[in-house]
Structure 1
Amino acid sequence: MIQDIQPMHLYNEYRPVPPDEDSYALYYEDHTVLVKKTEEGIIFPRFREIARLNEEIYEDYIYLFSVDEERYYLVQEINREPLSDFTMENTEIFRYADPQYQAFAGITGYQLRNWYRNHKFCGRCGKMMKRDEKERMLYCEDCRNMEFPKICPAVIIGVTDGNRILMSKYAGRTYKKYALLAGFTEIGETVEQTVAREVMEEVGLKVKNIRYYKSQPWAFTDTLLMGFYCDLDGEDKITLDREELALAEWFEREEIPVEPSRDSLTNEMIIKFKNGEV
């Protein structure tokens, strides 16, 4: 999956040390990121490459994280005219770009960038928020409101019935490939209850033997995904929620029309079942 960058390691502790000229500068605009595309993969600009016309970046930056010894920082406004080798690319590039550790760094930086952008002002009193010096937290000097990065728990659900698994396609989304059922955990419920509720809401089926498989940070949607397999309990007739799904259907292992990819927990769970490992 996208976060599997071993033997390298993401150090997400908040250590707001100043950047040096070799530090990576992550720059985003809307849903795009500044990168150079090469035969070996994507490359982020280093501070030395953009400092000539952007001297203020050594004063206006946000420390993000490190991957091994490499430090990554968010820069928010730059003149990118002299960076002819760099282009703004859609953040979807991180689903497949190499090297994988840079893709994971890029999408994790994008998640943090969105959090900082969306919390400039206090949600309680409207005053400007300030960055804390010791931890990754924003606070309001006026009303003492504190904000931490948002992580939303959600479930990925592999509903199985013997040699069959239930797969679906989303309604009204650009992503058109087969996926598993999924949904966000609501206030007051366990993740196991989320599994049962989402299956009932989306396809009208009951499930049993709910069992945890694995988790994945999914920075594209500020989500911590938790994968579960469960067994059909009773009738297999599907009642489709057409606001959420375009279709849902049962597939025998041998007929699953999905090939392995490296990015998602959903794909890994489908392929595990397809290969008879579940």
Structure 2
Amino acid sequence: MIQDIAPRTFSNAYKTKRPETTNYALYFNGHSILVGKDSPTLRFPRFEELTDVREEIYQEAIYLFAIDDECFYLVNHLPEEQPEFEMKDTGIFRTSNPRHLAFAGITAYSLYKWYDNHRYCSHCGNRLVRHDKERMLYCEKCNNTEYPKIMPAVIIAVTNGNKILLSKYANREYTRYALLAGFTEIGESIEETVKREVMEEVGLHVKNLRYYKSQPWSFSDTLLMGFFAEVEGDDSITLDREELALAEWFERENIPVSESDISLTSEMIEYFRNHQE
């Protein structure tokens, strides 16, 4: 999965320190990020590689995290005309290498969106201020506080003996087979989310829920939790056509080959393909 970057180590402990010239400077504008031109691998600029920058760039840079001894910072108001770099869509992180930089890029993008969307207090409209001890923004006028928001969601592999249920989303750019998925609503447990989403999307009851593993999925600011669940009773599908284009059962030996290894969905499908219980 995209966060599996071992033997490298990801450290997200918050710090307030001035960047050094050798640290990475990540610059976003909407859905785009500044990366190396014509590079066969993913390349982010270091502060020393930026041109026509003012001292304020260093003063206003926000520490994000570190991978091993490499520190990553978020920078704003950067002149986009950088000779060695160009703006590209953040979708490149789905396929780029090296993997640890792709993970760094999409994680940084999630934090960029949070900072960009929380410039002002939602209660009184005053400008929010960065805290010096933790990743938090606060209002000096009304004491309102804002922390990064992570949305819990489930990925569900519904099985029926030697078969697994695969689906395709409706009205989305992603057209490959996937597992059922959905966000947890206020007032329900993760297990209740699994049962509700399966019933809503394909009209099936499930039993014997088994937790598999989790994944931070910064493409949608989500913490995904994967479950295997066995169908209970009739396995006839009643499709929610607003959510899904199709859903069908696949025998283990006929499961379509996945073209990506970055997602929890792909790993769970491959796990079922290769582990007969």
Q: Secondary structure at the match of 1:13?
A: coil
The within-5 A match list for 1:29-108 is: 29-36=29-36, 41-81=41-81, 83-108=82-107
Cα gap change, 1:65/1:277 in structure 2, threshold over 3 Å: closer, same or farther? Answer: farther
Calculate percent identity across the aligned residue pairs: 59
Measure, in 1, the Cα distance between the counterparts of 2:268 and 2:146: 34
Please identify, of 259-268 and 191-200, the stretch whose mean Cα deviation from structure 2 is larger.
259-268
Q: Secondary structure at the match of 2:257?
A: coil
Q: Which residue of 2 aligns with 1:148?
A: 147
CA deviation map 1:173-232 (0-9, x unaligned): 111111000000111111010000000000000000011000000001110000000000
The answer to whether the 8 A contact 2:80-2:86 is kept is no
Please identify, of 52-61 and 15-24, the stretch whose mean Cα deviation from structure 2 is larger.
52-61
Q: Which residue of 2 aligns with 1:190?
A: 189
- In the TM superposition, what is the alpha-carbon distance from 1:276 to its structure 2 partner? 2.7
Q: Which residue of 2 aligns with 1:226?
A: 225
Q: Which residue of 1 aligns with 2:165?
A: 166
Q: Does 1:217 align with 2:216?
A: yes
Measure, in 1, the Cα distance between the counterparts of 2:76 and 2:246: 41
Q: Runs of 5+ in structure 2 lacking a partner?
A: none
- In the TM superposition, what is the alpha-carbon distance from 1:260 to its structure 2 partner? 5.4
Q: Which residue of 2 aligns with 1:15?
A: 15
Q: Secondary structure at the match of 1:210?
A: strand
- In the TM superposition, what is the alpha-carbon distance from 1:39 to its structure 2 partner? 5.5
Q: Which residue of 2 aligns with 1:181?
A: 180
Q: Secondary structure at the match of 1:139?
A: strand
The answer to whether the 8 A contact 1:50-1:80 is kept is no
Q: Secondary structure at the match of 1:220?
A: coil
Q: Runs of 5+ in structure 1 lacking a partner?
A: none
Q: Does 1:112 align with 2:111?
A: yes
Q: In the alignment, residue 97 of structure 2 is paired with which amino acid?
A: D
The answer to whether the 8 A contact 2:183-2:193 is kept is yes
The answer to whether the 8 A contact 1:258-1:270 is kept is no
Q: In the alignment, residue 189 of structure 1 is paired with which amino acid?
A: E
Q: Which residue of 2 aligns with 1:2?
A: 2
Please identify, of 147-156 and 30-39, the stretch whose mean Cα deviation from structure 2 is larger.
30-39
Q: Secondary structure at the match of 2:35?
A: strand
CA deviation map 1:90-113 (0-9, x unaligned): 111111211111000000000000
Cα gap change, 1:120/1:152 in structure 2, threshold over 3 Å: closer, same or farther? Answer: same
Q: In the alignment, residue 207 of structure 1 is paired with which amino acid?
A: V
Measure, in 2, the Cα distance between the counterparts of 1:107 and 1:14: 18
Measure, in 2, the Cα distance between the counterparts of 1:253 and 1:87: 44
The answer to whether the 8 A contact 1:205-1:238 is kept is yes
The answer to whether the 8 A contact 1:218-1:224 is kept is yes
CA deviation map 1:29-62 (0-9, x unaligned): 1111111156551110000111543442112211
Q: Which residue of 2 aligns with 1:27?
A: 27
The answer to whether the 8 A contact 2:52-2:79 is kept is no
* TM-score, reference length from structure 1: 0.97
For the aligned residues, what is the CA RMSD? 1.3
- In the TM superposition, what is the alpha-carbon distance from 1:277 to its structure 2 partner? 5.1
- In the TM superposition, what is the alpha-carbon distance from 1:275 to its structure 2 partner? 1.6
Measure, in 2, the Cα distance between the counterparts of 1:74 and 1:156: 31
Q: Secondary structure at the match of 2:96?
A: coil
Measure, in 1, the Cα distance between the counterparts of 2:216 and 2:270: 19
The answer to whether the 8 A contact 1:156-1:181 is kept is yes
- In the TM superposition, what is the alpha-carbon distance from 1:88 to its structure 2 partner? 1.2
Q: Secondary structure at the match of 1:42?
A: coil
Q: Secondary structure at the match of 2:71?
A: strand
Measure, in 2, the Cα distance between the counterparts of 1:269 and 1:39: 32
